[in-house]
């Protein structure tokens, strides 16, 4: 039998050698590596070997305890090597492992967004479902995680964590490690977020003043282009700044934003007006050889930061109480509704969720022609306001045509 004294007295040699204890346990002494505990056993007539840790992290006493635990597994008909491999495989497909793998592939995220997403997962998801195999996760498992956040009044964070977990689970589905995204089942199970009015300019005269200010912006060309496109497309700020050239079909005047970049997790189509196409073609000369329309000034492998457009508006003299990047959506919604465009058409173009799936499919199929007309009419209207902000030019709705 081995003793601690004998182990400490053992010297490294040119070749590995073994110090035997009993019942299959021995310590392997190697020139290059720390001494390692090994356990030799037989299972179903085959000789097998199992590592039990390294010395001195695992003491002689602890190594013997581990050996005895493994021997009990063998007596119960369980192969410890196979059991260990199964646990490793499960760990590789755990929610946390898949989430970190997915995060590593999100090269377009800004540093601030990456830190925020990692922090949310580490604080609110990993402690509860991080070790669970993604294939075994159920909607109820994730709901219990989200209920903890709701109980502390973090309603908006609850919805953001659900959405974040949903993106991880869709990646798991795409890589063959889960059957479906169970987070999608929880959209209607959570307390709704209280809506907040965002700062926006909706008065036609002031819209004209804003558009003329944007035309005179003297900052970075890509930021200028983002400012000019924001009112013409009125997508969410994150959808705009992370836009990729591969999403655009300029020949057919359409921008298709993929589902994984949309708040509602569904592809969104933006018909492009002549004015938007003109800006995009100008921008393509500057950034068309890269991935992003609006690359970061630090590295072209990332898009503009989430505060760039707002910072540009501040530079133009508009406070956060007057106008924000998100305010272009409220601007378009208010004006288009006032001018008589059908609410369904406006809501579809704003990518607000239609709860009735049948109606959603119908709207997508039947309303695109109206959306194209509306987007061009909206761009023409903005041109009129920009040319003369003192005049109120009414957009003609479909019913007036």
Tell me if residue 329 is catalytic.
Answer: yes
Rounded CA Rg of the chain: 30
Residue 399 to residues 337, 344, 359, 374, 379, Cα–Cα distance (Å): 13, 14, 21, 12, 19
Residue 312 lies in a domain: yes
Instruction: Select which of 62, 100, 116, 263 is catalytic.
Output: 263
Paired residues of 47 in beta bridges: 42
169-212 pLDDT, tens digit per residue, is 999 999 998 889 999 899 889 888 776 667 899 999 999 999 99
My answer on whether 162 and 271 are in the same domain is: no
pLDDT higher than threshold 60 for residue 401: no
* 255 within some domain: yes
Residue 49 maps to a domain:
yes
Rounded Cα gap, residues 45 and 69, in angstroms: 20
The beta strands (E) that lie in 199-257 are given as 248-249, 254-257
On whether both 155 and 213 belong to a single domain, the answer is no
237, containing H or E segment: helix 237-241
Among residues 23, 88, 256, 362, the one annotated as catalytic is: 362
Q: Does the annotation mark 17 as catalytic?
A: no
Instruction: Judge if 266 and 385 occupy the same domain.
Output: yes
CB neighbours of residue 371 within 10 Å: 20
Q: Which of 170, 329, 371, 386 is catalytic?
A: 329
326 catalytic per annotation: yes
Q: Does residue 90 lie within any of the structural domains?
A: no
pLDDT of residue 260: 79
Is residue 236 annotated as a catalytic residue, yes or no?
yes
- pLDDT of the residue at 163: 92
- Domain that includes residue 217, residue range: 204-400
Q: 135: which DSSP letter?
A: G
Backbone angles phi and psi of 366, in degrees to 5: -100, -15
The pLDDT value given to residue 87? 72
In a domain, 277, yes or no: yes
Catalytic-role residue among 138, 148, 352, 359: 352
352 given a catalytic annotation: yes
Token readout for 328 is: 């272009």
Same domain, 110 and 21: no
Let me know if 256 is a catalytic residue: no
Indicate whether 102 belongs to any domain. yes
| Residue from 162, 167, 236, 371 carrying the catalytic annotation | 236
φ and ψ at residue 243, rounded to 5 degrees = -60, 140
Query: Rounded CA gap, 71 and 78, in Å?
Result: 9
59-118 confidence digits (pLDDT tens): 999 999 999 999 999 988 888 888 887 777 666 788 999 999 999 988 877 677 788 899
User: What domain count does the chain have?
Assistant: 3
Given 49, 81, 113, the domain boundary residue is 81
* Catalytic member of 228, 326, 371, 386: 326
At a CB cut-off of 8 Å and minimum separation 6, what does 365 contact?
A: none
Residues 55 and 170 in one domain: no
- Do 66 and 120 lie in one domain? The reply is no
- Distance (Å, whole) CA 291 – CA 303: 9
DSSP per residue over 41-59, as a string? Answer: EEETTEEEEEEEEETTTS-
Summarised one tens digit per residue, pLDDT across range 143-172 is 999 999 999 988 889 999 999 999 999 999
Model confidence at 258: pLDDT above 60: yes
**387 & 341 share domain:** yes
Assign residue 368 the CATH number of its domain: 1.10.443.10
Assess if residue 87 is contained within a domain: no
User: Rounded to whole angstroms, how far apart are CA atoms 382 and 378?
Assistant: 6
Dist. CA 124–CA 136, nearest whole Å: 19
Identify whether residues 165 and 244 lie together within a single domain.
no
pLDDT for 127: 93
pLDDT value at residue 390? 46
The CATH number given to whatever domain includes residue 37 is 3.30.160.390
Same domain as 339, residue 244: yes
Q: What is the per-residue pLDDT across 275-325, written as a single tens digit (0 to 9) for each?
A: 999 999 999 999 999 999 999 888 888 898 888 999 999 999 999 899 999
What band does 360 get if pLDDT is binned at 50, 70 and 90? low
Residue at which a domain ends, from 48, 81, 114: 81
**Do 231 and 318 lie in a common domain?**
yes
Asked whether residue 53 falls in the same domain as residue 175, the answer is no
Strand ranges in 233-294 using DSSP code E only, listed in sequence order: 248-249, 254-257, 268-271
Of 116, 151, 186, the position where a domain reaches its end is: 186
Same domain, 366 and 240: yes
The answer to whether residue 144 sits within a structural domain is: yes
């Amino acid at each position: 039998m081995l003793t601690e004294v004998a182990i400490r007295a053992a010297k490294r040699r040119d070749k590995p050698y073994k110090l035997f204890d009993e019942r299959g346990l021995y310590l392997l002494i190697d020139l290059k590596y720390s001494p390692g505990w090994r356990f030799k056993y037989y299972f179903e007539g085959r000789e097998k070997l199992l590592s039990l840790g390294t010395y001195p992290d695992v003491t002689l006493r602890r190594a013997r305890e581990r050996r005895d635990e493994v021997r009990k597994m063998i007596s119960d008909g369980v192969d410890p090597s196979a059991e260990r491999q199964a646990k490793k495989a499960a760990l590789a497909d755990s929610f946390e492992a898949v989430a970190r793998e997915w995060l590593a592939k999100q090269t377009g995220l800004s540093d601030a967004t990456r830190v925020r997403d990692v922090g949310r997962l580490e604080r609110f998801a990993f402690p509860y479902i991080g070790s669970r195999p993604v294939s075994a996760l159920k909607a109820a498992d994730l709901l219990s995680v989200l209920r903890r956040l709701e109980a502390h009044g973090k309603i908006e964070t609850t919805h953001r964590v659900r959405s974040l977990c949903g993106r991880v689970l869709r990646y798991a589905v795409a890589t063959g490690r889960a059957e479906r995204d169970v987070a999608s089942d929880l959209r209607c199970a959570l307390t709704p977020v209280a809506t907040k009015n965002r700062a926006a300019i909706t008065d036609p005269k002031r819209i004209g003043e804003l558009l003329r200010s944007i035309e005179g912006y003297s900052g970075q060309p890509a930021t200028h282009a983002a400012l000019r496109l924001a009112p013409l497309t009125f997508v969410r700020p994150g959808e705009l700044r992370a836009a990729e050239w591969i999403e655009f079909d300029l020949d057919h005047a359409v921008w298709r934003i993929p589902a994984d970049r949309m708040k509602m997790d569904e592809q969104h189509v933006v018909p492009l007006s002549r004015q938007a196409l003109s800006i995009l073609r100008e921008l393509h000369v500057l950034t068309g050889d890269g991935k992003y329309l609006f690359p970061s000034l630090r590295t072209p492998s990332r898009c503009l930061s989430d505060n760039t457009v707002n910072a540009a508006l501040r530079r133009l003299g508009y406070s956060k109480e007057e106008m924000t990047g998100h305010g272009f959506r409220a601007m378009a919604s208010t004006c288009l509704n006032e001018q008589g465009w059908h609410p369904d058409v406006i809501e579809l173009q704003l990518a607000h969720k239609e709860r009735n799936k049948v109606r959603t499919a119908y709207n997508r199929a039947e309303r695109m022609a109206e959306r194209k007309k509306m987007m061009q009419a909206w761009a023409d209207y903005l041109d009129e306001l920009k040319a003369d902000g003192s005049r109120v030019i009414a957009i003609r709705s479909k019913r007036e045509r």
